[in-house]
Amino acid sequence: MNKVLLMGQANVGKSVLFNHLAGAGATVSNYPGTTVDFDKGHMMLQGKKVDVIDVPGTFSLQPKDRAEEVAVKMLEKEKGATVVCVIDSSKVERGLYLALELIEKGHSVIIDLNMADVAENANIKVDTERLEDILGVPVVTTVAIRGEGLKELVSRMGEAMPAGIESITKRVGGKGGTSTHS
Amino acid sequence: MEQALTVDQRWDLVDKITKETVEVGAYEPTLRDAIAGVTVRPLTGIPFAIAVLYGFWTFFGEFAGLFTDGFFVRIFGTHWIPWLAERLAGLPDWAFVILVGDRAVFAEEFLGDSCFAAGGVLTTGLFMPFGIVLWAVLALFLVLAILEDTGYLPRLAVLLDTVMHKIGLHGFAIVPTLISLGCNVPGVTACRPLETRKQRFMMIALLGVFVPCGAQIGMMEELVPGLIGWVFLTLAVGYLGFGWVLNKILPGESPEILMDVPPYQAPQWSNILRKTWMRTQHFLLVAVPFVLLGCAIVMALYTTGAMDAIAGGLEGFLATVFGVPASATPSLVVGFLRKDLAIGLLPIETMTNYQVFKSVILLTIYFPCLATFAMLLRELNWKEILGTLGFLVAMIFVFGGILNLIGMAGGW
């Protein structure tokens, strides 16, 4: 692994996370679309120096504006990278759509349920273990703005791996293969 | 290769996964929600917005004034400039003029303000960026960073959406506009989330033409504080009015923009300070060299007599079309480089208030500064660039002409 891409929708805290992982450099604002070009930095991972890229926010892999185009191109160029899919814990379903797209494309994914504090305030609980079982990729919880959970995120980045969308379809619901859509 | 899911299948799967893993408990409204409600409901939100913007404007004025008038005018005016003039008095004339300025300023009988009147690279050239503009942009960047990081900007966008729709713009336009008031360069970048080329082009053209940057505002606040209200009002009329016109005449779609409104957050001071510093650093690295270069060019044109020739050539044109005296020529010459410098060079004492007002408006509309122009080259294709320049030239004549006619009618 030589590159880490931070991907996710706008305003889920990718740039805050980036600043923690790769030091200074990215500007962060509390409105969507602050990162319109990507920011690049380095971090140490298992004793090796790897590139970290803060990709502009995107809702899906079908780009709708210029910032999203940058994001999708970036992803296509970095086929072998580890993709950290950052999700707002209070809006899991929105982020999961992108996560599934990333998994379908065969990327090595690790899910970061960020903004866990916002979810907690809104009384939303996410069963991360079950989510990890279903998706077959690591799922960690962070509050990037306060620096919480970053250690776990970094230590589990190595576990990021491609997962099969079909096996996810089978595992969900715990019954296996009942989906009428497949 | 596995078979890819369709959009519906994927959402279906998302649904099933969340059903199994996410539990949404009873929601208890918090203070944060109450604040969020108050700030976007028009009845309470509009007064709140006015109060917020007025508060920040006051802070900006006080902060910038404290440093400039309280400190730097004295340092430069009574210490640095006279000291430098004395030390360098032995230089050949041309070098003295470029580095220090007009010798007449240092004669006994001169009573004006040497900070502006001198004009040399090491006197006025240093005074403008470090004595005035730095403090203005620092204050603006700080204020904007706070607005950005709390999450107030997107709410302002929601609040203004209905009004802006009447002229075919979107509430989101307020985000790049406010950012441009700090510096047009990040303002242009902030247009990227706009979805269609038409929207981006319109927004960038309006920003480049009608939105003055922090450096310019700082100079206006220092030199023509009484006129600032009128200048902003005129520019706002142009921005809204011609936004409406562009939206009507340009081909293409202007679809609704769906913007995500993030939760309010207490700003992280480390992030605010870093952001303010990064932008200020950009100002120091990009703007200051151009101000110094601009001063050198103007003084060189003066000593060689070229400035008089240019002014003579432009005199008739400036007077007939805009009703501005030829003594404003140096401002127009350096307006290409830096607009703050251009405003600093306006011969304010020799012009009527109305002429100063017209000149400030024209300089704002006038060609974007070099750094902004470089951004336009990056963001727009050549057709759109030509379109922006055409729009700009048209606006100069429309505004210059109309303001001139109003002036004649009013006898100003």
Residues contacting A145, CB < 8 A, separation 6+:
A13, A16, A115, A117, B265, B268
Nearest alpha-carbon partner for B183 in B293, B377, B51, B340 = B340
Beta bridge partners of A39: A54
Contact B328, B347 (CB under 8 A): yes
Q: What does the pLDDT read at residue A11?
A: 82
Residue pLDDT, tens place only, A92-136: 998 999 999 999 989 999 999 998 888 888 889 999 999 999 999
B172, B271, B281: best to mutate for the A interface, most A CBs within 10 A: B271
Range A38-41 contact pairs with CB under 8 angstroms and sequence separation of 24 or more: A38/A70, A38/A71, A38/A74, A39/A15
Beta bridge partners of A85: A7, A111
Comparing CB atoms, the residue among A9, A24, A36 nearest residue B274 is A24
Give me the phi and psi of A81, to 5 degrees please: -75, 160
What's the number of CA atoms in the CB half-sphere (13 Å) around residue B230? 14
Q: What does the pLDDT read at residue A177?
A: 42
Comparing CB atoms, the residue among B5, B14, B148 nearest residue A29 is B148
Contact B271, A28 (CB under 8 A): yes
What's the number of CA atoms in the CB half-sphere (13 Å) around residue A153? 25
Yes or no, beta carbons of A127 and B154 under 8 Å apart = no
Q: Where do runs of H (alpha helix) occur along chain A?
A: 14-22, 66-77, 92-104, 116-121, 128-135, 150-156, 165-171
**Sorting pLDDT into bands at 50, 70 and 90, what band is A36?**
low
Yes or no, beta carbons of B148 and A31 under 8 Å apart = yes
Q: Is the pLDDT of residue A14 over 90?
A: no
Chain B CB contacts of A168 under 8 Å are: 13, 17
Chain A CB contacts of B4 under 8 Å are: 104, 165
Q: Is the pLDDT of residue A24 over 80?
A: no
Residue by residue, pLDDT tens for chain B (412 residues) are: 445 788 888 899 999 999 888 888 877 777 778 888 888 888 888 899 999 989 988 998 888 888 888 889 888 988 899 899 889 888 898 899 899 988 888 876 676 778 888 888 999 899 989 998 999 899 999 998 898 888 888 888 888 887 787 777 788 888 889 989 988 888 888 887 777 888 889 999 999 999 998 889 999 988 888 899 999 999 999 999 998 898 888 888 777 767 777 778 788 888 888 888 888 988 888 888 888 998 999 889 888 888 888 888 888 888 888 888 888 888 888 887 888 889 988 888 888 889 999 999 999 998 888 888 888 888 889 999 999 999 999 999 999 899 999 988 887 7
Chain A CB contacts of B154 under 8 Å are: 30-32
Output the furthest CA–CA distance in chain B (Å, rounded).
Answer: 88
For B194-248, the DSSP string reads --SHHHHHHHHHHHHHH---HHHHHHHHHH-GGGHHHHHHHHHHHHHHHHHHHHH
**Sorting pLDDT into bands at 50, 70 and 90, what band is A27?**
low
Q: Is the pLDDT of residue A29 over 70?
A: no
Give CA separation, B256 vs A139, B169, B187, B200, in Å.
35, 9, 20, 13
Give CA separation, A61 vs A89, A135, B10, in Å.
20, 19, 13
Yes or no, beta carbons of A100 and B262 under 8 Å apart = no
**Sorting pLDDT into bands at 50, 70 and 90, what band is A180?**
very low
Please identify which residue in the block is written with the tokens 């005074």: B127
Chain A CB contacts of B148 under 8 Å are: 29-31, 34
Look up residue B54 and give its two tokens. 């007025």
ipTM greater than 0.90: no
Ordered domains of chain A (ranges, CATH): 3-174 (3.40.50.300)
A80 touches chain B (CB under 8 A): no
Look up residue A137 and give its two tokens. 């990729």
Q: What does the pLDDT read at residue A119?
A: 86
Look up residue B315 and give its two tokens. 């005199």
**A109 SS3 class:** strand
Which residues 124-153 on chain A approach chain B with CB closer than 8 angstroms?
A: 124-128, 130-131, 134-135, 145
Chain B CB contacts of A31 under 8 Å are: 148, 151, 153-154, 175, 262
Q: What does the pLDDT read at residue A140?
A: 95
Chain A CB contacts of B262 under 8 Å are: 11, 30-32
Provide the CA B26 distance to its chain's centre, in angstroms.
Answer: 46
Yes or no, beta carbons of A67 and B193 under 8 Å apart = yes
Pairing of strands A108-114, A3-8: unpaired
Give CA separation, B341 vs A60, B363, B374, B389, B393, in Å.
45, 10, 19, 21, 21
